[in-house]
A and B are shown apart, each in its own frame.
Chain A
Amino acid sequence: GENVEQHPSTLSVQEGDSAVIKCTYSDSASNYFPWYKQELGKGPQLIIDIRSNVGEKKDQRIAVTLNKTAKHFSLHITETQPEDSAVYFCAASMADSNYQLIWGAGTKLIIKP
């Protein structure tokens, strides 16, 4: 079946450095790729998303890139800050659904002061 692989499972970076999280999806018909940030005890918060007609999208310190040929997409966070510490999830839409998402397993991002 369809799946999304996410790496790494844990990422520790120095404050001010950049962080990159990568996801690979299996369904070539997936066309929507959101990224969510989840802090302890809270629900996932949408931080950025990209659709398959775009290769890159940026919002201040956060950017997402999509390579449809290779079926992978990445989250880039620059100038990391302590408040960026959280679990980040990638997801991909299912081909035969306009609402169901397949989720990655999550990346725990730790920002070291």
Chain B
Amino acid sequence: ETGVTQSPTHLIKTRGQQVTLRCSSQSGHNTVSWYQQALGQGPQFIFQYYREEENGRGNFPPRFSGLQFPNYSSELNVNALELDDSALYLCASSSPQRGVTDTQYFGPGTRLTVL
């Protein structure tokens, strides 16, 4: 069974640029959630994708957007980067069951630094 993978591992961008982060879900999982984790804090939910559609969103501005592909892999896009976007971006995959909260499995993350 293949776990959740993310690329790239590290990324350095400058303010105002755009970035795309990628995630491959664990084998058998059709749902991907994205989180932002600032240094020393817990993960903050950005959004979730299920069957190629956004299934829920946290308190993040529209410049954070995403995609999910037919193979359930996903991308997180961030436009007009700000210094505060510097964080570890985590992807988690799950396989929802009706009426039961998902068990989510995380990838290793992408460390984004905005200068």
On chain B, which size bracket covers the interface?
20 to 34
B107 at the interface (CB under 8 A from A): yes
Q: Once the chains bind, are A44 and B106 in contact (CB under 8 Å)?
A: yes
B40-75 with Cβ < 8 A to chain A: 40-45, 48, 55-56, 58
Number of A-B contacts (CB under 8 A): 63
Interface footprint category on A:
20 to 34
Report the bound CA distance from A5 to B90 in whole Å: 22
Q: In the bound complex, what is the Cα–Cα distance between A101 and B103 (angstroms)? A: 10
Q: Given A99-B96, A100-B56, A44 and B103 touching (CB < 8 A)?
A: no
Give the residues in chain A near B48, CB-CB below 8 Å. 99-100
Residues of A within 8 A of B6 (CB): 43
Kindly state whether residue A31 has any CB partner on chain B within 8 Å.
Answer: yes
Is the pair B101, A31 in contact by a Cβ cutoff of 8 Å? yes
Instruction: Evaluate contact between B106 and A99: CB separation under 8 angstroms.
Output: no
- CB of B107 within 8 A of CB of A43, answer yes
Kindly identify, within residues 1 to 54 of chain B, every residue whose CB is under 8 Å from any CB belonging to chain A: 4, 6, 31, 33, 40-45, 48
Task: Kindly list chain A residues whose C-beta atoms are within 8 Å of the C-beta of B4.
Answer: 43
Interface centre among B6, B40, B42 (most CB of A within 10 A): B42
A104 to B90, CA, bound (A): 16
Report the separation of the CA atoms of residues A82 and B100 in the bound assembly, to the nearest whole angstrom. 35
Apart from A46-B105, A98-B99: 14 A-B pairs, beta carbons within 8 A: A31-B101, A32-B100, A41-B108, A43-B6, A44-B90, A44-B106, A89-B43, A97-B56, A97-B101, A98-B101, A99-B94, A99-B104, A100-B45, A103-B44
